[in-house]
Amino acid sequence: MRNFVTGYVNTDLNGDDVTDLTDLVITYKNSIRFVSLKKP
């Protein structure tokens, strides 16, 4: 089963309007490197 989310969503990390495995790979790589965002 394949589930994709399309359109403008915050889970689309690479900007191609589809949330898929590519976005998961980006998330995984950021998590193992402890990448985070701090906002004031």
pLDDT tens track for 13-28: 888 888 888 989 999 9
Taking 60 as the threshold, does the pLDDT of residue 1 lie above it?
Answer: no
> Distance between alpha carbon 1 and the CA centroid of its chain, in Å?
19
- Give the separation between CA 13 and CA 10, rounded to whole angstroms: 7
Nearest to 7 by CA among 16, 15, 17: 17
Question: Rounded CA gap, 15 and 20, in Å?
Answer: 11
Rounded to whole angstroms, the Cα distance separating 28 from 40 reads 25
2 pLDDT tier (thresholds 50, 70, 90): low
pLDDT at 25: 92
Domain ranges in the chain are: 1-34
> Is 27:35 a contact under the CB 8 Å cutoff?
no
